[in-house]
């Protein structure tokens, strides 16, 4: 119990470092989405972006103990944010798969991964 109280008191400093790191990963993801020319790498960057947001919200919810009730503990990690993240992960997985299917159709049609080349071909038509 004392150990837990200590974690709860010192979480302010820990939180800031973790938020800081997850924001860096978010920007790595956004940078990838904007700058990469390959469509699949764009989608992977989108995955990185999403995972970083999940990490950010896990950090925000963090209070040292997982939200499963135990008699002697008073403060838990926030269960509401965890339940939202459950939704985000499952839907993200399904949507990433759907987007990959669309990429497969595009690649099958234009025979290239490069975004600029695809735009050129579409403009010529």
Partner 1 sequence: MIKKFFLILILIMISFISWNKFNLSQYIQPYLPQEILKDNTSLNMVSAIVLDYRIYDTLFEVIVFTVAVTGISKYLMKLPEYGDYKNEKDSVVETMIPIIFQIIVLISLYIAITGHIAPGGGFSAGVILGTGLLGVSFVKPMEDIEKIFVKSKIEKLKVLVPFIIIIYAISGYIFKGVYFYNFGFFGEPGTLFSGGSAIILNLLIAFEVFSGTWTILYKFIKHRGQL
Binding site for partner 1 (CB under 8 A): 11-12, 15-16, 19-20, 23-24, 27, 30-31, 34-35, 40, 60-63, 66-69, 76, 78-80, 82-84, 86-87, 89-91, 93-95, 97-98, 100-105, 107-108, 113
Q: Closest CB to partner 1 among 72 and 124?
A: 72
**Residue among 100 and 121 whose Cβ is closer to partner 1:** 100
Both tokens of residue 105? 């159709």
Nearer to partner 1, 97 or 122 (CB): 97
- 14 vs 124, beta carbon nearer partner 1: 14
Residues 100, 106: Cα–Cα separation, whole Å: 10
Rounded Cα gap, residues 84 and 98, in angstroms = 21
Shortest gap between Cβ of 36 and partner 1 (angstroms)? 11
**CA angle in degrees (0–180, nearest 5) for 98-32-56:** 80
The distance in angstroms from the start CA to the end CA of the chain is 69
């Amino acid at each position: 119990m004392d150990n837990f109280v200590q974690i709860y008191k010192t979480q302010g400093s820990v939180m800031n470092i973790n938020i800081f790191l997850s924001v860096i990963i978010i920007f790595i993801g956004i940078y990838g989405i904007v700058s990469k020319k390959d469509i699949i790498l764009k989608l992977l960057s989108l995955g990185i972006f999403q995972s970083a947001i999940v990490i950010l919200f896990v950090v925000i919810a963090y209070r040292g103990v997982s939200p499963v009730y135990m008699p002697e503990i008073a403060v838990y990690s926030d269960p509401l944010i965890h339940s939202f993240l459950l939704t985000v992960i499952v839907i993200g997985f399904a949507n990433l798969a759907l987007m990959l299917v669309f990429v497969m159709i595009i690649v099958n049609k234009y025979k290239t991964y490069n975004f600029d080349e695809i735009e050129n071909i579409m403009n010529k038509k």
